[in-house]
Structure 1
């Protein structure tokens, strides 16, 4: 009997989620390392014909691998995302097999998730919830099909921690704070892989904002605007940021990526909002996370204007991976709260396995086990 390797790893991954959630240990990142390793294998061992994006990237690799170092360098200078070209060529030094190419790029999301969770969460239970949110948000389906923005998002995940070290306006002076230099360096690198990284610079403004409950009205109102109106100026700016990707996604509006995604994110936000007082008391940076989730909701609502906006929303709603586990930790302090947590976990699995056709993608691996 033949077993597809990706199925075996999928099963192992969800077993690790269960073990992590049931773990009584207060601090142990072994589960986190294993979860990230599984993500790396699942994404890296996919077939080249899984999703249209994957086939396009493999075609790029087939084109790049035929070039010498001098030619690939000159070719990269003609592109708006030169580092993507150079990094896509690098695996050809080891092998011209596309699987090596995919395994190389899948390192980015797995490493990004590792540092993102390790720096912000503490327990195996938190890690398990964070990775469940990875699937519920559709982030896994996104990185399993893409490469460029998945890599850029991973660098953003690492970079934001340096931004959080900037606490005063004086810290923005390069001479005073190397954290600012590191943040800008990572964002610049991410920009040369995927130009949409520019939108993350909004954090300079969001970082200084307090949190007010009336912000929610803006996020809720945005979904009406996004589904009723087409804003010409918004379309022009998006085309500039997204380039060739705008032609592919910008005119297609997929309901599952817009309204259902919006309501899932709204539910996650409200789950955190109920515990906002406790979250803010525990850490002031949770104010930043709440605001980032709200901005993500606004971008998600704009998929009614441009389908590609769900991709931009990831730069902001990814912080749900941190805030939701922290909120659930507060819920677990009471009997009713524990019941809500169990109901939430159950709802997530029902959504993934029975209600969502894209967030838990079914795809083939090119490797089989006998």
Structure 2
């Protein structure tokens, strides 16, 4: 294990110790202080990363120059969404250095995610740890377009909770101008209007199984309407039974099972006949999101392109897990579960970093000036 990996582990341990200290000390504005410090560290890592960090960063740097030098950005032949093209053109006019691109996009993406955590998580420091250990942070270092779309989706969550249809849809459509796949998040609106019951869970299960088996037949038909993604059919994105897709599903499924376990435990303490009957409106919404996360990640085992859609739902695990734990009143059990989740998620993260570094190519880490 190299020095860089030890440094990475040190950052995670530091975040953990800082979080537990602030939580135990009951420091005034402790959550804000913790989120600011951790945001600052991760922002530096993201904004000033080198061209070698992230599988797609090199391509994005080339796109930045290409779009920046193009006169008519709207009419140019390109498969890249128009919102992202316009953003590149505008930033390039300010400064042709791609560091400006990573600085601004990192500020928006990480800022939106941390604000989302602040507003929605019952245990913010645990959400930050999950953001890193469930590897969403590493994705933001590579997939800039989808990370921007993801950030906008998290902003739309406020209006989804309020039932404000038009503001929610408007933000999802805005997200699609950076990555078309974000339109799939629209499915959550009608589903969230329904109470999660056993029949709804069975519906999710049945539909996901059907799509799993027919995916190879229907996906080419669907991509006829989105021709820019047809190249994925002959690429590694459509390899069946990829290890990464299986792991994504297992993580999503484990989180879902954990949720049912906690709800059952809380129900037994509150003497409620049906564990799903204790769900608040927000808890019901998050459970729908996690069911969709599991469904998309299951289907993705038979076509890895689908895991891109699953990301818009699986990211909500960073608030779903802490908010579930908060329902547990027994302090000792709560602490035990928190430590168990931290150990398991850290082990998951480190095993992939060590044995599959090519999945997102974030270590060994380099700052942009290291390559000059």
Same fold by TM-score, threshold 0.5 exceeded?
A: yes
Is the 8 Å Cα contact of residues 249 and 298 (structure 2) preserved in structure 1?
yes
Question: Which residue in 2 is equivalent to 1:21?
Answer: 20
What residue number does 2:82 align with? 82
Partner-residue secondary structure (3-state), 1:285? helix
Unmatched 5+ stretches in structure 1: 167-178
| Distance change (3 Å), C-alpha of 1:255 and 1:21 | farther
Quickly say closer, same or farther: Cα 1:348–1:331, change in 2 above 3 A: farther
In the aligned structure 2, how far is the partner of 1:42 from the partner of 1:213? 44
Instruction: Determine the structure 1 residue equivalent to 2:306.
Output: 309
Contact 1:195-1:242 at 8 Å conserved across structures:
no
Aligned partner of 1:194 in structure 2 is 179
Q: Secondary structure at 1:49's aligned position in 2?
A: coil
Q: Once the two structures are superposed, what CA deviation does each residue of 1:26-58 show, in whole Å capped at 9, x if it has no partner? A: 753221122223332222222223344212111
Q: CA deviation at 1:293?
A: 0.4
How far apart, in 2, do the equivalents of 1:30 and 1:155 lie?
24
Distance in 2 of aligned mates of 1:222 and 1:257: 22
Cα deviation code 1:268-322 (max 9, x no counterpart): 1211222236597473211110111011111101112211111110111222111
Q: Given the superposition, is the C-alpha separation of residues 188 and 10 from structure 1 closer, same or farther in structure 2, using an over 3 Å criterion?
A: farther
- RMSD between superposed Cα atoms in Å: 3.2
Structure 2: distance between partners of 1:147 and 1:110: 11
Greater per-residue helix proportion = 2
Match of 1:134 in 2: 131
Q: Shift in Å at residue 231 of structure 1?
A: 3.4
1:120-159 Cα shifts (integer Å, max 9, x gaps)? 124xxx1221122223433222211111111001001001
C-alpha change, 1:280 and 1:141, in structure 2 (3 Å) is farther
Residue 273 (1) aligns with residue 276 (2):
no
Q: Which structure 2 residue ranges, 5 or more long, are not aligned?
A: 267-275
Counterparts of 1:73 and 1:243, CA distance in 2: 16
- 1:225: Cα distance to partner? 6.0
Mapped partners of 1:75, 1:232: distance in 2: 33
Match of 1:205 in 2: 190
Matches within 5 A, 1:1-370: 11-12=10-11, 14-23=13-22, 24=24, 25=26, 28-68=31-71, 71-75=72-76, 81-122=81-122, 126-166=123-163, 179-213=164-198, 215-216=200-201, 230-237=215-222, 240-241=225-226, 243-244=228-229, 246-247=232-233, 248-253=235-240, 255-276=242-263, 278=266, 281=278, 283-331=280-328, 333-354=330-351, 357=356, 358=359, 361-362=362-363, 363-368=365-370
Give the Cα separation in 2 of the matches to 1:352 and 1:205: 34
Distance apart, 1:223 and its partner CA: 7.4
Deviation string, structure 1 residues 64-96 (Cα, Å, up to 9, x no partner): 22234xx234438x7662111010122222321
- Cα offset for 1:334? 4.2
Per the normalisation by structure 2, the TM-score is: 0.81
Find the aligned partners of 2:10 and 2:95 in 1 and give their Cα distance: 29
